[in-house]
């Protein structure tokens, strides 16, 4: 399989650099002018990707496919793995990928005003593009500590073509991970919202168990803190990533939950690490909606759909709901 690893800046959605989703790290351009900010934007069924190679600004197609003719300026059917450094905890992680992509050796001119006419060097069908939710970005990419290790170094383009067994094994693990990945999320209903004041104990237990299994499947180690009255229910850790998970279970599909003063204080004091995990239909057909803090909007939004945001009513007590 033809594989290319492309190191870019860190974003949540890659739909353009805005106050709601600011890019961190990546190429040498100013943060407000980094081309990879549009890498997962759907433009008439296609995604136009950008990565900034260091040497001569060119991608070496022969290193992706040894059979490639030196006169070729593009290569098809490439698996492009997008990776980025996590701002808060550090470490480089897989953030998404393009399957069946076309990779160009040089930058291609774009007249698309939707992406600021930025150049690109990778293109794929939008249906072949997968962007992982932030908490699913747990696949750590090793970086070379010294020359000769064969792993990602200073360049933003990594071919993973070393004959070292460690590199070969890592490459196989990545391909296996991508081929076996299947998104578990369903569309979030914004309708039929009903306030559920008294959530039954069995619903809460089922919700906590579901969240534990979900985060374990994402590669986290999960520890219960429910009896400590800390303002969150679970610790979730994966390498340098550390999260606080507050779980709310609901028997129906509408989202409306009560939040204690202690929970609200923790939500606002540690926004980057706090997650409000709402499990709807907890005992029958559970679905998890994880709410994360969106600095640009100043709201708690779904990790999968930023248009799904919580409205928190502080009177007579804290009630978070989706309108």
Q: Render pLDDT for 160-218 as a digit per residue (tens, 0 to 9).
A: 999 999 999 999 999 999 999 987 655 555 443 343 434 467 888 999 999 999 999 99
C-alpha–C-alpha distance, residues 98 and 65, integer Å: 17
Q: What is the pLDDT of residue 56?
A: 64
Decide if 228 contacts 244 (C-beta within 8 A).
no
Q: What is the pLDDT of residue 50?
A: 95
pLDDT at 37 over 60: yes
- Give me the domains of the chain, ranges plus CATH numbers: 3-180 (no CATH), 201-322 (3.40.1350.10)
* Residues paired with residue 244 on neighbouring β-strands, in sequence order: 235, 274
The model carries a pTM of 0.77
List Cβ neighbours of 2 (8 Å cut-off, separation of 6 or more).
Answer: 64, 65, 75, 77, 78, 79
Task: Give the pLDDT band of residue 314 (cuts 50, 70, 90).
Answer: low
**Mean pLDDT across the chain, nearest whole number?**
87
Checking DSSP bridges between strand 129-131 and strand 92-108, what pairing results, if any?
antiparallel
Q: Which residue has the higher pLDDT, 103 or 295?
A: 103
Q: What is the pLDDT of residue 148?
A: 66
Give the residue from 281, 225, 241 showing the smallest Cα distance to 289. Answer: 281
106-130: average pLDDT: 91
Q: What is the pLDDT of residue 186?
A: 54
127-145: average pLDDT: 92
Give the residue from 144, 109, 115, 125 showing the smallest Cα distance to 5. Answer: 144
Q: What is the pLDDT of residue 114?
A: 83
Give the residue from 249, 311, 302, 306 showing the smallest Cα distance to 280. Answer: 249
DSSP codes, 293-312: EETTTTEEEESS-TT-BEEE
Q: Render pLDDT for 244-271 as a digit per residue (tens, 0 to 9).
A: 999 998 888 777 788 888 999 999 999 9
* Residues paired with residue 10 on neighbouring β-strands, in sequence order: 24
Give the residue from 82, 18, 90, 17 showing the smallest Cα distance to 51. Answer: 82
The edge-to-edge listing of strands for the beta sheet with 299-302 is 221-224, 234-238, 241-249, 274-280, 287-294, 299-302
Q: What is the pLDDT of residue 309?
A: 84
Phi, psi of 174 (to 5 degrees): -65, -45
- Look-up of token digits 């190191």: 7
């Amino acid at each position: 399989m033809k594989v290319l690893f492309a190191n870019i800046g860190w974003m949540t959605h890659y739909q353009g650099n805005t106050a709601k989703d600011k890019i961190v790290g990546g190429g040498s351009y100013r943060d407000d002018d980094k081309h990879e900010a549009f890498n997962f934007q759907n433009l008439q069924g296609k995604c136009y990707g950008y990565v900034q190679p260091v040497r001569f600004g060119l991608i070496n197609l022969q290193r992706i496919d040894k059979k490639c003719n030196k006169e070729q300026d593009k290569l098809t059917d490439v698996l492009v793995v997008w990776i980025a450094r996590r701002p808060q905890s550090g470490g480089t992680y897989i953030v998404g990928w393009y399957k069946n992509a076309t990779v160009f050796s040089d930058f291609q001119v774009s007249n698309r005003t939707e992406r600021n006419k930025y150049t690109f060097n990778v293109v794929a069908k939008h249906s072949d593009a997968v962007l992982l939710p932030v908490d699913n970005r747990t696949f750590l990419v090793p970086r070379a500590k010294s020359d000769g290790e064969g792993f990602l170094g200073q360049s933003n383009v990594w071919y993973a073509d070393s004959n070292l067994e460690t590199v070969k094994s890592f490459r196989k693990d990545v391909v296996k991970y991508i081929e076996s990945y299947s998104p578990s999320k369903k569309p979030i209903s914004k309708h039929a919202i009903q306030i559920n004041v008294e959530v039954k104990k069995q619903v809460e237990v089922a919700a906590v168990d579901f969240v534990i299994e979900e985060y374990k499947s994402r590669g986290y180690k999960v520890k219960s803190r429910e009896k400590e009255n800390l303002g969150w229910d679970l610790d979730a850790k994966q390498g340098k990533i550390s999260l606080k998970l507050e779980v709310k279970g609901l028997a129906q599909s509408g989202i409306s939950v009560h939040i204690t003063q202690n929970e609200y204080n923790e939500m606002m004091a540690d926004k980057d690490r706090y997650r409000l995990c709402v499990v709807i239909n907890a005992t029958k057909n559970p679905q998890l909606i994880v709410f994360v803090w969106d600095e640009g909007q100043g709201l708690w939004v779904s990790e999968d759909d930023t248009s799904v945001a919580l409205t928190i009513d502080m009177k007579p007590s804290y009630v978070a709901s989706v309108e």
